Each structure stands twice: as C-alpha cells, then as structure tokens.
Amino acid sequence: MPIFDFLSGQFIDVIHWTDDTRDTMVWRFEREGHEIKYGAKLTVREGQAAVFVHEGQLADVFTPGLYMLETNNMPILTSLNHWDHGFKSPFKSEIYFVATTRFNDLKWGTKNPIILRDPEFGPTRIRAFGTYTVRVVDAAKFLSEIVGTDGEFTMDEISFQIRNIIVQAFSRIIAGSGIPVLDMAANTADLGKLVAGEISTVVADYGLSIPEFYIENISLPPEVEAALDKRTSMGIAGDLGRFTQYSAAEAMTAAAKNPSGGAGIGAGLGMGMGMAMAQQMADQGPWGARPAPAPPSPPPPPVEHVWHIAENGQTHGPYSKASLGRMVTEGKLTRDSFVWTAGQDGWKRAEDVAELATLFTVMPPPPPGA
C-alpha cells in the first residue's frame, strides 16, 4: 500500500481551493517541493480564478471549470518549457487561487477633517465616512502588482491603501464641488458616483474594481455643530428677549428638580438669575436706568365720505354726512333717495347704506298707508 500510494501521488494531483474566511483574496496551493504533475486535475470554482506560475513566470490564468494540466491545453506553458513524462516533474510550478467575488461592507473614513470653502459659512472643516466593495477583475495583474509571492493574501493587507485612495479622491472632489455643507446630505448619491469613478481609474492599475461606493455621513466638527445648533435655536426662538426669559425659567426649573442638594440648586438659580440680569441690562440705558417708553403715536384720522344724490335724472352734491343729516331733518332726503360715494358699487337707496341708515333713526318712519 505505501508503494501504491507513492506511485498514485506521483501520477495524479487534485488541485482545488475552498475558503470560508470571507477575507482571503489569494491563496497558494501548497505542494511538497512545488511539484505539479503532468495530467493533474485543476478545479476552479465560480468566484475564483487560478494563476499558474512556472519557474517565477506567469504562465496561464484559468477561469471557472475543470482542467487537465497537459501541454495541449496550456500553450503558453508549452512555449516556456516542455513537459516530460515521468514520476517526477523536472520543474517547479505554483498555482495561486484568486477570489473574484465581491468583498462587501468595507469601511472608509477621513482620519483628519477636510478643509473646504463653503459659500455660506466660509472656510469649514468636515468629516465623512461610508462603505465600499472591492472585486478582483484581473487576477494576473493583481498577482503581479500587489500580491507577489505572498502565499495567503487577505483584504486587510490592501484595505489601508484603498482607503487612502478613497480619502484623497473624496477630498479633491468635495473641495471642488462648490456644494454648500447644508446641501451635501441631499447630494451624497451624486458625490458617491464621482468618487467611485475617480477611485476605479486608480485601482484598475491593481487589477481591482469598486462596484459599489457609499457615503453614509458628512458631518461638521463638534464645535461647529454646536454653533450651528445655537444659530438654529435663535432662528426658531425669534424674539431674543423671550428666548432669554425662557432659558432662565428652564434653568431654574432644572435646578429645583436637581436631587444633588443645595449646591446644585444654588448653581442653577445663579445661572437663571444671571441670564435674567443679562436681559435686564440689555434693556437698560447707558446709565443703568431704563428709558421711558415713547408715547404711542395716534392713529391716522378716518377718511370722511362725501355723497352725491340722484334726483329726477340729475345728480347734485357732494354732501358731507352732517349735511345729509340736516337734509333728512328738512325732508329733502328720504330712505328711498339714491346716493353714491367713491368706492361704492353703483347707486343705492340711502337706507340700504349702513353708514347712512343711522340718519333715519332720529325720525320715525312714515305711518302705514301714507
């Protein structure tokens, strides 16, 4: 049995790779002495590529499928070296398996704030973070440019470099976009596409692509956010005096509810009194005395209407309301007389005009049947 096992091992190799780590990008098939036998079976699964390296030189790249390692299906290797039949390989070869699936939920973020010129706030610093995905699209280029002879290459070994590329591209694009900070949240999708396009151009030289790129948050430094919140609060409060009084009342209420004892209550009351004093000083004049309020100006006098009277197809006037009152007393103006004034819609009976109807209350109406 040992002799049979030896002969079987010399004649046939079964080369394949399964991985459940979710972060391994490249794995080298380990064979004693790096001997790959003539006629060995190579299995490349979906989401993988196999790179055949012969004597330090890249020979072939295999896509998903089952292969017999023979000269008739390895023309590049045939041109490099002839395969001789025998129990031992006359050369040393290596096979690297490369994962071509997407590596998801990778994090990126700005280590230091990015300085930009905001059209509303002026020079401003912002931070940003998000996620992205990476995929190997050219296994041969990725192996020659990044991996080298590393027998097990993980995503962590290149994620730092990709994050640097992302931050550099993001900083350049966001600083030159001219988008106000307050509007960036509504434009994260467009900014993400611009950054992804810039990154893809760079990582293509590594044999990689960025299928997805997301900007999850763009934030201001804490001190800038505090100032912005204060500005927003003042805008909502409207009347600064009432806002100050409200803040003092809130401080006193919080102090009364403080269970820490007299010291905490005294501090809260002192803060509330201080805010009230600030409001009182703001209302006082330069000598500490509140100036007397200016008397209110009288309202403008009412506009007095003048009236025209239509009688027997002719008009005469204008008459003031006092004159119309005397005409009612003298019987020259009755309830059925037609009158008109500026702004009135056509001629109306005198008793139908609210302003003149009171003139007829001083005289009794005509008796019934008159």
Per-residue pLDDT of the chain (370 residues; tens, 9 = 90+): 444 444 444 445 788 888 888 889 999 887 766 567 767 788 999 999 999 887 778 888 999 999 887 655 554 454 445 444 443 444 567 889 999 999 999 999 988 888 888 887 788 888 899 999 999 999 999 988 888 878 888 998 888 889 999 999 988 888 888 888 888 888 888 888 888 888 998 999 999 999 999 999 888 878 777 877 777 766 665 556 666 776 777 777 777 776 655 455 455 555 555 555 555 555 555 444 555 667 777 777 666 778 788 888 888 878 887 888 888 888 888 888 888 888 788 888 888 887 877 777 755 666 677 5
Q: What pLDDT is recorded for position 239?
A: 59
Q: Same domain for 6 and 78? A: yes
Give the end-to-end CA distance of the chain in Å, rounded to a whole number.
146
Q: Same domain for 94 and 166? A: no
Q: Same domain for 140 and 190? A: yes
Which of 50, 81, 99 is the C-terminal boundary of a domain? Answer: 99
- pLDDT tens track for 218-276: 888 787 778 777 777 666 655 566 667 767 777 777 777 766 554 554 555 555 555 55
Q: Same domain for 146 and 180? A: yes
Q: Same domain for 108 and 213? A: yes
Q: Same domain for 262 and 274? A: yes
Q: Same domain for 168 and 270? A: no
Is residue 230 situated within a structural domain? no
Number of domains in the chain: 4
Q: List the CATH number of the domain containing 321.
A: 3.30.1490
Is residue 265 situated within a structural domain? yes
Which of 223, 253, 269 is the C-terminal boundary of a domain? Answer: 223
Q: What pLDDT is recorded for position 366?
A: 63
On whether the pTM is more than 0.85, the answer is no
Written in H, E and C, the secondary structure of the chain is CHHHHHHHHHHCCEECCCCCCCCEEEEECCCHHHCCCCCCEEEECCCEEEEEEECCEEEEEECCEEEECCHHHCHHHHHHCCCCCCCCCCCCEEEEEEECCCEEEEEEECCCCEEEEECCCEEEEEEEEEEEEEEECCHHHHHHHHHCCCCEEECHHHHHHHHHHHHHHHHHHHHHHCCCHHHHHHHHHHHHHHHHHHHHHHHHHHCEECCCEEEEEEECCHHHHHHHHHHHHHHHHCCHHHHHHHHHHHHHHHHHCCCCCHHHHHHHHHHHHHHHHHHHHHHCCCCCCCCCCCCCCCCCCCCCCCEEEEECCEEEEEECHHHHHHHHHHCCCCCCCEEECCCCCCCEEHHHCHHHHHHHCCCCCCCCCC
Q: Which domain holds residue 354?
A: 307-360
Which of 196, 223, 250 is the C-terminal boundary of a domain? Answer: 223
Q: What pLDDT is recorded for position 46?
A: 93
